[in-house]
Structure 1
Amino acid sequence: MPETRRNANTTTLGNKGLPITGNSLLAGVSLPAAAIFEAPLSHNLAWMQRFAAAHGAFLAPHGKTTMTPALFQRQVDTGAWGITLATAPQCQAAFAAGVQRLLMANQLIGEANMAIVAGLLEAGAEIHCVVDSTANAEALGRYFASRGQTLNVLVELGVPGGRTGCRTLKQVIELAQCIAAEPALCLTGIEGYEGVVHASDPVPAIRDYAAQLIACAQRLDREGLIASETPIITASGSAWYDLIAEAFDTADLRERFTPVLRPGCYVVHDHGIYRDAQRGVLARRADLHEGLQPALEVFAQVQSLPEPGLAIVALGKRDIGFDQLPQPLRRYRERGSAEDMLSVAGWQVTKLMDQHAFIALPENADDVRVGDVVAFGASHPCLTFDKWRRLCLVDERLDVLEMMETVF
């Protein structure tokens, strides 16, 4: 049965039920299809791992970006300390795929979700979740005491007007004291997320937040409220990871704390908001000579040329993220060669419907044919991954090397 969020049309060749691995996106693969390019993917995995290591930090990539076990495994194989998730079912899916250390950067709320985590602990998973209220801490304490288990928790530091998290140092200390009074809870450190910091001049605001997070961690440590011998301090999304890494590095935390960075979108990068954010990183860090590379594209075909200056492509909101309109990147003839690229200069997506993209064509676009294959870039890869059950891992020739399944 078709599903809006999980596009299954890349599983077979036409109606023959044949696997598509070994075929080309230009011939034999039902389009639209989401594709990850092997070369930039490998580059990004190694690049971010080197970046974290250069700052004495560990990497726990946010798995909610992709929810793709094959990518989790590649991140772990490249050196990731663990995988970050947002929900108990996501943790369950990652553990089932072989990930042993799970950082749930969210509150664990509701007994049904607590039961999932309890089952994972019984199966041998190492899990850390976050708390920001005594009510949540007390509920967790009661539940895991009833199961005879100990749950690792991190106090979350938020910002006024932001999302979750304690707002002040006083609240952090009071919550840590509450956790210490719960025998079934073990305070293993502190967690934050700088992406909720909004200011007209964001860089100093992000640095201030990082300094506050570090000060809270050190205060908890001085007062003996952290139960772990290797306490964790963790933050960092995909936009400001350089500022967090620098703060953790220059604060000389490494002898006492385990600094953990949690970017997720880096693995495939994008052609939108994170491309722009990466430009900011490279502008701040002249020593970083090469940045991340976009690895995720969605391929679709021209469906109709109903009037001059207009092309309708069989690509819609069910296939690609749309917080920004998709960007046409390249064009090919169906059954052609990846080396024979055709121009999309001046092409502009003007509207996106469920399964149709409206493209305004320039006056000189007189070689466009129905059936032409167009590669599109998207902004914010999270919003494209969750539309697919499977993605094609491809090489530079557009040949499919592997099918990567998602577990949304």
Structure 2
Amino acid sequence: MSAEPGEHRPDPLADEFPGDKGCPETGRGLLAGISLPAAVVREAPLAHNLIWMRRFAEARGAHLAPHGKTTMAPALFRRQLEAGAWGMTLATAPQCRAAFAHGIRRLLLANQLVGEANMAIVAGLIEAGAELFVVVDGEANVAALDRYFAARGLRLPVLIELGIPGGRCGCRSAEAVLALAERVNQAPALLLAGLEGYEGVVSGDDPEGAVRAYARELVTAAHTLAGKGLFEREVPLVTAAGSAWYDLIAEAFHTLAPSQAFAPVLRPGCYVVHDHGLYAEAQRHLLAREGEAEGLRPALEVFAQVQSLPEPGLAIVAMGRRDVGGDRMPLALRRYREGGDPAAVLPVAGWEVVKLMDQHAFVRLPESAGDMGVGDVRVGDIVAFGVSHPCLTFDKWRAVLRVDDRLEVQEVMATCF
């Protein structure tokens, strides 16, 4: 007998998420028992990615502080720390609070901290024992932070951000960095702990060359501040690196910022689950630059069912923009029968997602799908889709499923967006 809405369900994996989409309902198998669509992280590639990135950072003498905004999944944060991460990067004060609540003690807020409500969150975390760094790029922000944290009787570690003209945040020149460092040193409630940057906004006709030049500028600025004795941390941090160019940043840090002078910190976030789009392309370029044969493996997929076969050559799948990021169309990877054997994979060659609505995906089927464009495709078939830019998919879900090779749910992972 089915459970009534709101009734307690017997499966402990589902207890924390009663009524949520993409959770166990009548069993733990993705092909029978899960309310689809569901966001899924496959254990084998996840484990591979954790080891791969740890080895990458260690080989280059760098610390790893993965950007947690990608997943906002504390279960994955813990896996990253267990795999050797130095700390976690977050984008907002509430994200820092969520991470700290789940046991993450070293936090890098890779953004300017503005607004007294957000300052109160950070101050509370420091008072509770967090080691927390924030970013500054202007005198007004420095003055506001100094006033607030002095009133709380705290000293706030800050990193000066070096930006680029026309880019996002950050000081626009090495001279501006130097002037701001001197201003931070005059603020009793602030402690200059290092230099921060983000190369993901660098663009131009030669993006690789531009990123290399930016990395050199960042590290040169760090050496300048160190030479003038402006850092107040014994081993100051120098940190950058999103999920596309981290090899170039690591190269610059390794050659220009020796570990005895600085603590280099890389901050890629998407590596933990990788993707089938934007970062898959970036990884191919990275492997070519590094001369490596094997890199990260995509672990994040969205499973959804064929809802309708309304006309020849068209399948409507019950998955839309509320379930999957839409900066690039999802890719059909594999197909299964509902209730079938996970080893019995059905073809999706030639399937193309051509349109996403709130709850629907329009999938163009090839002529080879059979008579009337349907053939062996059935309503209820379950399709695994690959996504691009995992940040834009994770934030659609309160719960993400970690599954084994048999598509059995091993863990229901909460997100904290």
TM-score by length of 1: 0.96
Work out whether 1:32 is the aligned partner of 2:37.
Answer: yes
Work out whether 1:332 is the aligned partner of 2:336.
Answer: yes
Work out whether 1:9 is the aligned partner of 2:17.
Answer: no
Match in the other structure for 1:244: 249
Work out whether 1:121 is the aligned partner of 2:119.
Answer: no
What amino acid maps onto 2:358 in structure 1?
A: D
Match in the other structure for 1:216: 221
- What do the CA deviations read for 1:100-156 (whole angstroms, capped 9, x no partner)? 000000000000000000000110000000000000000000000000000000000
Provide the C-alpha distance between the structure 1 equivalents of 2:85 and 2:287, rounded to a whole number of angstroms.
23
Match in the other structure for 2:356: 352
Provide the C-alpha distance between the structure 1 equivalents of 2:20 and 2:182, rounded to a whole number of angstroms.
49
Work out whether 1:136 is the aligned partner of 2:106.
Answer: no
Provide the C-alpha distance between the structure 2 equivalents of 1:10 and 1:353, rounded to a whole number of angstroms.
18
Provide the C-alpha distance between the structure 2 equivalents of 1:339 and 1:306, rounded to a whole number of angstroms.
29
Provide the C-alpha distance between the structure 2 equivalents of 1:368 and 1:11, rounded to a whole number of angstroms.
25
Match in the other structure for 2:106: 101
Match in the other structure for 1:4: none
Residue 338 of structure 1 deviates from its aligned partner by 1.2
Match in the other structure for 2:13: none
Match in the other structure for 1:17: none
- What do the CA deviations read for 1:53-110 (whole angstroms, capped 9, x no partner)? 0000000000000000000000001110000000000000000010000000000000
Residue correspondence of structure 1 range 312-327 to structure 2 within 5 A? 312-327=316-331
> Unaligned 5+ residue runs, structure 1?
2-6, 15-19
Provide the C-alpha distance between the structure 2 equivalents of 1:239 and 1:376, rounded to a whole number of angstroms.
22
Match in the other structure for 1:79: 84
What amino acid maps onto 1:317 in structure 2?
A: R
1:391 partner SS:
strand
Match in the other structure for 1:341: 345
Provide the C-alpha distance between the structure 2 equivalents of 1:210 and 1:25, rounded to a whole number of angstroms.
44
Return the match for 2:235 from 221, 230, 233: 230
Match in the other structure for 2:284: 279
Residue 10 of structure 1 deviates from its aligned partner by 2.5
1:331 partner SS:
strand
Provide the C-alpha distance between the structure 1 equivalents of 2:83 and 2:289, rounded to a whole number of angstroms.
26
- What do the CA deviations read for 1:160-207 (whole angstroms, capped 9, x no partner)? 000000010110011001100000000000000000100111111111
Provide the C-alpha distance between the structure 2 equivalents of 1:200 and 1:108, rounded to a whole number of angstroms.
33
What amino acid maps onto 1:242 in structure 2?
A: D
What amino acid maps onto 1:293 in structure 2?
A: R
Residue 364 of structure 1 deviates from its aligned partner by 1.9
Match in the other structure for 2:385: 376
Work out whether 1:392 is the aligned partner of 2:397.
Answer: no
User: RMSD value over aligned CA atoms?
Assistant: 1.1
Residue 253 of structure 1 deviates from its aligned partner by 2.1
Residue 247 of structure 1 deviates from its aligned partner by 0.6
Provide the C-alpha distance between the structure 1 equivalents of 2:214 and 2:184, rounded to a whole number of angstroms.
23
Residue 252 of structure 1 deviates from its aligned partner by 4.3
Is residue 235–residue 260 contact of structure 2 (8 Å, CA) maintained in 1?
no
- What do the CA deviations read for 1:200-244 (whole angstroms, capped 9, x no partner)? 111111110000000100000011111100100000000000000
Provide the C-alpha distance between the structure 1 equivalents of 2:43 and 2:317, rounded to a whole number of angstroms.
26
Residue 11 of structure 1 deviates from its aligned partner by 3.3
Provide the C-alpha distance between the structure 1 equivalents of 2:33 and 2:190, rounded to a whole number of angstroms.
54
Is residue 309–residue 316 contact of structure 2 (8 Å, CA) maintained in 1?
yes
Provide the C-alpha distance between the structure 2 equivalents of 1:359 and 1:11, rounded to a whole number of angstroms.
24
> Unaligned 5+ residue runs, structure 2?
6-18, 370-374
Runs (4 or more) in structure 1 with deviation over 6 Å come to: none
Provide the C-alpha distance between the structure 1 equivalents of 2:416 and 2:257, rounded to a whole number of angstroms.
38
1:81 partner SS:
coil
2:32 partner SS:
coil
Provide the C-alpha distance between the structure 1 equivalents of 2:174 and 2:256, rounded to a whole number of angstroms.
18
Residue 289 of structure 1 deviates from its aligned partner by 2.7
What amino acid maps onto 1:384 in structure 2?
A: T
Provide the C-alpha distance between the structure 2 equivalents of 1:52 and 1:280, rounded to a whole number of angstroms.
18
Give aligned pairs, total: 395
Provide the C-alpha distance between the structure 1 equivalents of 2:255 and 2:178, rounded to a whole number of angstroms.
24
Residue 377 of structure 1 deviates from its aligned partner by 0.4
Provide the C-alpha distance between the structure 2 equivalents of 1:184 and 1:120, rounded to a whole number of angstroms.
16
Return the match for 2:150 from 145, 156, 159: 145
2:298 partner SS:
coil
What amino acid maps onto 2:407 in structure 1?
A: L
1:311 partner SS:
strand
Residue correspondence of structure 1 range 36-55 to structure 2 within 5 A? 36-55=41-60
Judged with a 3 Å threshold, the aligned counterparts in structure 2 of structure 1 residues 351 and 332 are, in CA distance, closer, same or farther, namely same
Match in the other structure for 1:404: 413
Provide the C-alpha distance between the structure 1 equivalents of 2:265 and 2:230, rounded to a whole number of angstroms.
20
Is residue 149–residue 155 contact of structure 2 (8 Å, CA) maintained in 1?
yes
- What do the CA deviations read for 1:288-307 (whole angstroms, capped 9, x no partner)? 23100000000000000001
What amino acid maps onto 2:269 in structure 1?
A: G
1:13 partner SS:
strand
Provide the C-alpha distance between the structure 2 equivalents of 1:311 and 1:237, rounded to a whole number of angstroms.
36
Match in the other structure for 2:305: 301
